Amino acid sequence: MKNSIFHAVRGLREHTYLAVVGTGVIAAALVLLGGYAMIVTNLGAVVSGWKRDVHVSAYFVPGQSPEAQEAARAELALRPEVELVELVTSAEAQVWMLERVPEVQPIVEELGEGALPASLEVSLRAAYTSPVALDAFAESLREGGHFAEIDYGREWVERSSAFLHTLTILGVALGGMLVLAALFLVGNTINLVVYARRDELEILRLVGASDGYILAPFLVEGALQGLVGGGAALSLLYGVHALVVARLLGGVPLALGEGGLAFLSPVAAVGLAALGVSIGVAAAGFSVRRFLSRLA
Amino acid sequence: MIRLYHIVKSYGDRDALRDVSLHVEKGELVYVTGPSGAGKSTMLKLLYGAERPTSGRMLIAGVDVAKMSRGQLPALRRNLGVVFQDFKLLPHRSVAENVGIALEVIGAAPDSIRRRVPAVLNIVGLKGREDDKAGVLSGGEKQRVAIARAIVTDPAILLADEPTGNLDGAMAVEVMEILQAINLRGTTVVVATHDVGLMDRFPYRRLRFVDGRILGGGAQAGGRR
């Protein structure tokens, strides 16, 4: 291992230009991948926020007593889908409406007490916010006979769910394509390194070096390049993220949740660096093995 | 030490070696000679495993090289020293590094490499040149470095493919003297060459190849003339 590290470091020093190009290609690929991951993560957070806001309003049929309304609320609060349920009486609804839309006051006064129906305002747990689950929940409320109308913005939920689904598929597909493209680019760069060192490889083979002996320093080189490339990519991404947050998004209200524009999570950052190392090692292994297979 | 039985080597329709049988005894120095394209280099390539015979048996120190897998070849090569006409040195590495590479491959300790390399460079007349870059040496010096690399692991057999082909007369004699000295230490030496003058000056058994065959047969052991 010590010998492999020594030869790897010497190889990098002897072929500095190619080493820098290889590291740069890895870094560029990881910047693309990391940047894309950040976009997908933030968009996913936005859509998840939309899903968290899924809200069901169940309007009581007229004539329900306050006790019956409270009993319905208590019953609903016990259901596993329900995160929070609040009873809004007819009077509270009227106050709420007049506070927000004062223009409707004459109409409300003309209709008198009970112009607006009492309702239960239900927040659902995230796991129960799919269109199918919402439909099932609304249907179960209708069957109870307490409610005249159930309102939950089904179209909005369907659209946000479809968007999140598409985003996930695109994320996996484009992410996979970026990894393959990175492997291809890094592999071709390391092919150049191998070509530049073909005499050395041939001589090593002729004096009795095994494939493993020849391959090991290249794998170490690939790992080092991947690590440096990963570090450079993370630094660049972090810098761009800080710049965007500080300069561009400072005054722009974006629905990005409480944390604003999020950087990669620590796990994703470590994963990106590990991916850099993996790409470096895999590309080096593939290129050198392919070259060695042509040697006797 | 080296025994070939009915070796045939074909490249498509062309036979580079045809029914070649030969014996080289331990401690012998032999020439493989003949005109260009006669099969000299092909035979040496077969011996160090760069090529595989199309048919026939090929024993080196009792091991059938023809049956060796690709993964077994490194072990064979660690017991052979090979010198090439084009030296096959790394020009940007020092003389010591070029020679030491053969010891590194067999897993020699750094201390052992530091001791052994100067000793071998002394044998080939390059004492004190350890730190020179191989690329700045003359042709004769490069060939000496190549010989030093080939013998630094004390191989039982030294194969030299046209070792004097790129050298002038005086340099060629010097290199041949080194190969002779190595042979006198007990190493079996096979030299491929078409330099008749050199063979006359250093007379050893000749295996003369013409059109892929050995003229007069190569099976008889000759020893030193």
Distance CA B59, CA B66 (A): 8
- Structural domain contains residue B86: yes
- Structural domain contains residue B6: no
Asked whether the beta carbons of residue A208 and residue B90 sit closer than 8 angstroms, the reply is no
pLDDT category of residue A228 using cuts at 50, 70 and 90? very high
From B49, which residue of chain A is nearest by alpha-carbon distance? A296
- Residues of chain A with Cβ-Cβ distance to B149 below 8 Å are 207
Asked whether the beta carbons of residue A206 and residue B71 sit closer than 8 angstroms, the reply is no
Is the per-residue pLDDT at A255 higher than 60?
no
pLDDT category of residue A175 using cuts at 50, 70 and 90? confident
The pairing of strands B55-60 and B188-192 is unpaired
- Structural domain contains residue B129: yes
- Minimal Cβ distance to A14: which of B49, B77, B92: B92
| ipTM, interface predicted TM-score of the complex | 0.85
Is the per-residue pLDDT at A167 higher than 90?
no
Asked if residue B183 lies in contact with residue B225, where contact means CB atoms within 8 angstroms, the answer is no
User: Phi, psi at residue A264, to the nearest 5°?
Assistant: -60, 145
Q: With pLDDT > 70 as the criterion, what percentage of chain A qualifies?
A: 93
* Per-residue pLDDT reduced to its tens digit, A177-205: 887 887 788 788 888 888 888 888 899 99
pLDDT category of residue A259 using cuts at 50, 70 and 90? low
**Lookup: tokens for A292:** 């060695």
DSSP summary character for residue A133: H
User: Which pLDDT value is given to residue B115?
Assistant: 93
- Minimal Cβ distance to A199: which of B45, B76, B90: B90
- Structural domain contains residue B61: no
* Per-residue pLDDT reduced to its tens digit, A111-133: 777 778 889 999 888 778 777 88
Asked whether the beta carbons of residue B71 and residue A209 sit closer than 8 angstroms, the reply is no
Structure-token match 């660049």, residue found = A236
The B-side interface with A (CB below 8 A) comprises: 45, 48-51, 71, 73-78, 80, 82, 88-90, 92, 101-102, 104-106, 149
- Average pLDDT value for residue range A257-276: 83
Q: With pLDDT > 90 as the criterion, what percentage of chain A qualifies?
A: 14
- The mean pLDDT value of chain A amounts to 83
CA proximity to A238, closest of A214, A212, A261, A263: A263
- Return per-residue pLDDT of chain B as tens, 225 residues: 899 999 999 998 888 899 999 999 999 999 999 988 888 889 999 999 888 999 999 999 888 888 888 888 898 898 899 998 888 999 999 999 999 999 999 989 999 999 999 999 998 888 889 999 999 998 889 988 999 999 999 899 999 998 888 778 788 898 899 899 999 989 999 999 988 999 999 999 999 999 889 886 555 544 444
Rounded to the nearest angstrom, the minimum Cα separation between A257 and chain B is 58
User: Which pLDDT value is given to residue A269?
Assistant: 92
Asked whether the beta carbons of residue A211 and residue B48 sit closer than 8 angstroms, the reply is no
Distance CA B59, CA B64 (A): 4
Asked whether the beta carbons of residue B71 and residue A296 sit closer than 8 angstroms, the reply is no
Is the per-residue pLDDT at A25 higher than 70?
yes
Distance CA B113, CA B117 (A): 6
- Average pLDDT value for residue range A161-169: 80
Q: Which residues contact A56 (CB under 8 A, 6 or more apart)?
A: A121, A122, A124, A134, A137, A138, A141, A150, A151, A152
CATH top-level class of A55-151: alpha beta
- Domain of B122? 28-50+69-204
User: Which pLDDT value is given to residue B223?
Assistant: 44
User: Which pLDDT value is given to residue B174?
Assistant: 86
- Minimal Cβ distance to A209: which of B49, B74, B149: B74
Three-class SS of residue B43? helix
CATH number at residue B146: 3.40.50.300
User: Which pLDDT value is given to residue A256?
Assistant: 53
Asked whether the beta carbons of residue A296 and residue B49 sit closer than 8 angstroms, the reply is yes
Structure-token match 């390059």, residue found = B126
Asked if residue A20 lies in contact with residue A193, where contact means CB atoms within 8 angstroms, the answer is no
The amino acid occupying position A39 is I
* Per-residue pLDDT reduced to its tens digit, A284-295: 898 888 888 887
DSSP summary character for residue A246: I
Total CB pairs under 8 A between chain A and B = 47
Three-class SS of residue A119? strand
The domain locations on chain A are: 2-50+159-294, 55-151
User: Which pLDDT value is given to residue A124?
Assistant: 85
**Domain count of chain B?**
1
Is the per-residue pLDDT at A134 higher than 90?
no
- Average pLDDT value for residue range A82-108: 84
Q: Which residue has the higher pLDDT, A102 or B203?
A: B203
Q: Which residue has the higher pLDDT, B74 or A110?
A: B74
Asked whether the beta carbons of residue A206 and residue B105 sit closer than 8 angstroms, the reply is no
